[in-house]
Structure 1
Amino acid sequence: MTTASSEDVDVLDARRAAIRAAPAGSVVVVDETALLERSVVAAHAGEALRAGRTAWRALPGDVALVAGAAGDDEAAVRRLVAGWAGEDGTTVARRGREVLRDDLGAAVRPPVWSLVAAHRRAGHRVVLTGHAPRPVLEAVADEIGADDLVATEVEVRDGVLTGEVAGPVLLDGRGEAKAAAVAAALGGAPAFVYAGPCHGALLAAGGQPLAVTSGSGHECGDHPVLTVPTRGGALADVVDVGRTAAFYGALLGAASTAATVGLARRSRRQMVDLTCSVAGDLGLALAGIDVEVRGAEHLWSSRPCVFVFNHQSKVDVPLLMKLLRGGFTGVAKAEAASIPLWGAMFKLAGVAFVDRGNTRQAKEALEPAVRKLRDEGWSLAIAPEGTRSPTPRLGRFKKGAFHIALQAGVPMVPIVIHDAGEVMWRGHQTLRGGTVHVDVLPPIDTSTWSADTLDQHVADVREQFVAVLEGAP
């Protein structure tokens, strides 16, 4: 995976320093062209095509847009809005969240996300702007925690969309329409502006502009430029396919070797532990994935324990295998039992499969995990978010892991994973080379926890994750 150049690191460091120096209440404008490397309009046009909702008159333009043969223009925005005629706003908003989860989440530029998080921590007012229609851009605004949204408005009558745009489409050559809309909404100039390099008018509308691009060759005038390497699409190149094949080859080889050793010693535990150690090390190495760990001593200092980790990528599982080596089991959603190869390995390792929609079944499934912690000295690894996050934003924590730690009377150790999505994003099936950074936080004593105080403990642990994820340089 391409890493940031020293010039871009300098740009980020300078911007973070400027953010810290700016007073609380400073206004920050973030354009969708800076935050996302993929068009919101194109993503929703693609969803409509797949769902069969595209009108035949719109087919040529939308097919060209989705295929990349055409870019966003006013006609593309109006075609998207026209397709919503007769629908209620709630339906379109729900669709916006689904497209963000399944498609646009992989288009978020992590450095820009981190800068927005830094602005929020500094108490700044974050305004998202974009030419995409409000009903679908609202999902993105909610995800980044924006305070306001300036977008192309749509006409609504009695709660139903008419299929018409209300006012101007905020799309033109240099971002003049967005600049005018932002000025009207704010009543003044923002302190910071982030936009694509072609949006010169919008960049010029703020005190500290930063042009964000995925490639070179763009004219940005005197504005500083941050180049963010593209993550790439869901279609992998030959190198990525080779990396992935090497990883799974190592996994199968490790499992076969471990099975031989385990049978010879009549120990399923040794077989599982050896598979974890060898597959984690060799598989990630062959895939070109390096792992840098801070606080590695906490992986061993308080076992048995409950390890909790943030979940963003399928690579999290082999990453935990490498980090924890052995002596642990896990909890997974019920559907994971049917995943080829992984499902069989999970069953062999004694993973508890939980039906998230069945509270009684979930409690029954977790009982063996509690016994292993309390009686057999095993540790447990669990993602309290319950599922992979579609963006760098940390999801809501469920209480299961906390109940287990409380019942078993063992410490909890947070494992904060950075950059896993950059080597294998949600929905992608192949691995990319790169470096995953991990922070293992000090063990948390649970001896004073009680059922009555559990909500506060959940909030406290989640806040530790947020502080590390958003505060990391």
Structure 2
Amino acid sequence: MRVPRPQPHLEEVLASEPGSHIAALFDFDGTIISGYSATAMLREKFQRREMSMEEIAETAQVVAQHSLGQIGFSGLMSAAAKFMKGVDEESFVEFGEELYKKHIARKIYPETRAIIEAHQAKGHRVAIISSATIYQIEPTARDLGITDIKCSAYEIEDGVFTGEIIRPLCFGEGKVLAAEELAAEYGLDLDQSFFYSDSDDDIELLERVGKPRPLNPNMKLKGIADERGWPVQRFASRGTPSWIDYTRTIYATGSLVGAFAAGLPIWALTRSQREAANFSIGLFGDFATAITGVELEVEDERHLWSSRPCIFIFNHQSKADVMILAKLIRRDMGGVGKKEIRDIPILGKLMEWGGTVFVDRADGKSAIKAMEPLVDAIRHEGKSICISPEGTRTLTPKLAPFKKGAFHLAMQAGVPIVPIVIHNATDVAPKNEFVMRPATVRVTVLPPVDTSQWSVKTLNDHVRDVRNMFLRTLGQPEESAAESVAAEAPPPKPKAEKTKPKKAAEKKPASRKKAAGKAAKG
């Protein structure tokens, strides 16, 4: 059994004094996320071929000068601002949202998320104080429920970047000023407050608060922390994977083929495809979780077996969900997958052979028609079907809206729904991450939900009720009837996408208005 790593920072928060007079301040890069958001931004712009040769050369030169100590952070930001001149801010906001979806969301440390949630539960004022810009930070802050952000800012005039920065930057002593602004605004006691950071660049604010808490500290900060007796914690759940993690992931992924190959002799001897598939599914679940170092803590496992055949529904956080569900359900199951998987060599055929039906998620009517054979499999073969009502993996542990396909299927087949709540599969592999890492995943199996009295007329209410079961179990806010109605409303007509920063039309400069230092508040 895996021995849980100690979480001293989290345990300290759980035992701390509650109250809104206490602040929990967080640096962003290296503390909330692994690595640097600016690096991800530059990489994305380079891959899109949105950087001129001049910008590439000058960026490389400035970064080298900063690394050698020849220029400070102000010089680095000034160089970045130069290439922002004339860019429409709105398009850069959209670029930041795309950056979050593609790169940043999967870099969020689950351990830091837990610390933030613990502070929020205590009623502490949680804020991000970072030298990065609002465009790098805001989508992550929104995900984490953080409404107070103090960060560095570019000057904006009439919605367009001017090519200048706003001083003072949120760096060094500038972070202390930002914290004191928050303290004055909310009546915070910084002497009782926390600040989490990974860098010695933040030494001024670490010294200013009563509870400096280095997270993933660089060597210099680690030395300072050791000298001063500051508690230190490191996380290995994100960042550059080890070769062992890569090897485990490759073996676990490949074990699907091996597991089905191992079932072929059973098929040959018994002529039962079903028994062969049952053997293969269980073997895959056991081997893949073992080789990746994933252990399951399952609450109320008896509900997995008490009402079969049924419709198993689960919240879809990670590609690891497949092996988790195989280990849990083990036999007599079919599934629903997106049609793109069917075209993947070998994998698509194996999943189809194992009882998966592939649907077009963009076409609701064809998806419902494609699932019709599953009704027969449930009624006549006694198979249970496993479906994610969210339709796809979520970027974060937050539950997405539910589609109705699984609920229609349960009504048509006349079987109950068994909710499987997976709490933290993102610890293994968040969306867009190839590598799977060792973790202990909590799973709660809720009691079967009777669908015999359901009707199409009342289906929306039943979907909301079941979704609220998931939300309660995950500790997330429940959905009201009004919110459910709003979610059912047709979406507005989409606008033309702006996927990259755009140069604004040339115009004569008006009076130079400085954009307010970005302190985003919800």
Q: TM-score range by the shorter chain?
A: 0.7 to 0.9
Which of 233, 236, 240 aligns to 1:226? It is: 233
Question: 1:117, 1:340 → 2: CA distance?
Answer: 42
Does 2:21 align with 1:29? no
Does 2:131 align with 1:131? yes
Does 2:398 align with 1:393? yes
Change (3 A) 1:156 1:11: closer
The superposition leaves residues 90-128 of structure 1 with CA deviations (integer Å, 9 ceiling, x where unpaired) of 322222222222211222111221222234445554333
Note the C-alpha offset of 1:60. Answer: 4.3
Question: 2:154, 2:109 → 1: CA distance?
Answer: 27
- Kept after mapping to 2: 8 A contact 1:174/1:201: no
- Kept after mapping to 2: 8 A contact 1:174/1:200: no
The superposition leaves residues 56-94 of structure 1 with CA deviations (integer Å, 9 ceiling, x where unpaired) of 344246458999x95993444444444444343332222
Once structures 1 and 2 are overlaid, which stretch shifts more, 388-397 or 346-355?
388-397
| Structure 1, unaligned runs of 5 or more | none
Change (3 A) 1:200 1:355: same
Alignment of 1:283-362 (within 5 A): 283-362=288-367
Note the C-alpha offset of 1:213. Answer: 2.0
Note the C-alpha offset of 1:173. Answer: 7.2
Change (3 A) 1:86 1:270: farther
Change (3 A) 1:275 1:204: same
Question: 1:187, 1:214 → 2: CA distance?
Answer: 29
Question: 2:51, 2:184 → 1: CA distance?
Answer: 34
Question: 2:232, 2:188 → 1: CA distance?
Answer: 24
SS in 2 for 1:415: strand
Match of 1:164 in 2: 164
Question: 2:323, 2:468 → 1: CA distance?
Answer: 25
SS in 2 for 1:384: coil
- Kept after mapping to 2: 8 A contact 1:304/1:410: yes
- Kept after mapping to 1: 8 A contact 2:214/2:233: yes
How large is the Cα RMSD of the aligned pairs? 3.3
Change (3 A) 1:376 1:127: same
Alignment of 1:34-53 (within 5 A): 34-53=31-50
Match of 2:148 in 1: 148
SS in 2 for 1:291: strand
Change (3 A) 1:404 1:161: farther
Once structures 1 and 2 are overlaid, which stretch shifts more, 49-58 or 462-471?
462-471
Does 2:21 align with 1:16? no
| Structure 2, unaligned runs of 5 or more | 477-522
Question: 1:412, 1:79 → 2: CA distance?
Answer: 57
- The one-letter code matched in structure 1 to 2:46 is L
Match of 1:428 in 2: 433
Note the C-alpha offset of 1:299. Answer: 1.2
- Kept after mapping to 1: 8 A contact 2:154/2:161: yes
Change (3 A) 1:64 1:457: farther
SS in 1 for 2:168: coil
SS in 2 for 1:219: helix
SS in 2 for 1:213: coil
- The one-letter code matched in structure 2 to 1:313 is S
Question: 2:294, 2:427 → 1: CA distance?
Answer: 10
Once structures 1 and 2 are overlaid, which stretch shifts more, 346-355 or 170-179?
170-179
- Kept after mapping to 2: 8 A contact 1:179/1:205: no
- The one-letter code matched in structure 1 to 2:114 is S
Does 2:108 align with 1:103? no
- Kept after mapping to 1: 8 A contact 2:9/2:115: no
Change (3 A) 1:158 1:246: same
- Kept after mapping to 1: 8 A contact 2:21/2:187: no
- Kept after mapping to 1: 8 A contact 2:10/2:114: no
- The one-letter code matched in structure 2 to 1:104 is I
Change (3 A) 1:250 1:65: farther
- The one-letter code matched in structure 1 to 2:111 is P
- The one-letter code matched in structure 2 to 1:14 is E
Question: 2:421, 2:465 → 1: CA distance?
Answer: 14
Q: Normalised by the size of structure 1, how large is the TM-score?
A: 0.85
SS in 1 for 2:323: helix
Change (3 A) 1:194 1:65: farther
Match of 2:506 in 1: none
- The one-letter code matched in structure 2 to 1:152 is S
Q: Which one has the largest radius of gyration?
A: 2
The superposition leaves residues 194-228 of structure 1 with CA deviations (integer Å, 9 ceiling, x where unpaired) of 42143233345555553322677342345443332
SS in 2 for 1:32: coil
SS in 2 for 1:273: helix
Question: 1:307, 1:192 → 2: CA distance?
Answer: 45
Question: 1:95, 1:148 → 2: CA distance?
Answer: 21
Question: 2:307, 2:67 → 1: CA distance?
Answer: 56
**Count of aligned positions:** 463
Alignment of 1:355-374 (within 5 A): 355-374=360-379
Match of 1:461 in 2: 466
Question: 1:293, 1:65 → 2: CA distance?
Answer: 52
Alignment of 1:53-202 (within 5 A): 53-60=50-57, 62=59, 70=67, 73-122=73-122, 124-172=124-172, 175-176=175-176, 178-180=178-180, 182-183=182-183, 186=186, 188-189=188-189, 192-197=193-198, 198=200, 199-202=202-205
Question: 1:63, 1:305 → 2: CA distance?
Answer: 58
Question: 1:120, 1:452 → 2: CA distance?
Answer: 39
- Kept after mapping to 1: 8 A contact 2:333/2:384: yes
Question: 1:194, 1:436 → 2: CA distance?
Answer: 29
Does 2:254 align with 1:257? no
Question: 2:408, 2:61 → 1: CA distance?
Answer: 51
Which of 434, 438, 449 aligns to 1:444? It is: 449
Note the C-alpha offset of 1:231. Answer: 2.2
Question: 2:59, 2:373 → 1: CA distance?
Answer: 52
Note the C-alpha offset of 1:38. Answer: 1.9
SS in 1 for 2:15: helix
SS in 2 for 1:292: strand
Once structures 1 and 2 are overlaid, which stretch shifts more, 435-444 or 117-126?
117-126
Question: 2:63, 2:370 → 1: CA distance?
Answer: 44
- The one-letter code matched in structure 1 to 2:160 is V
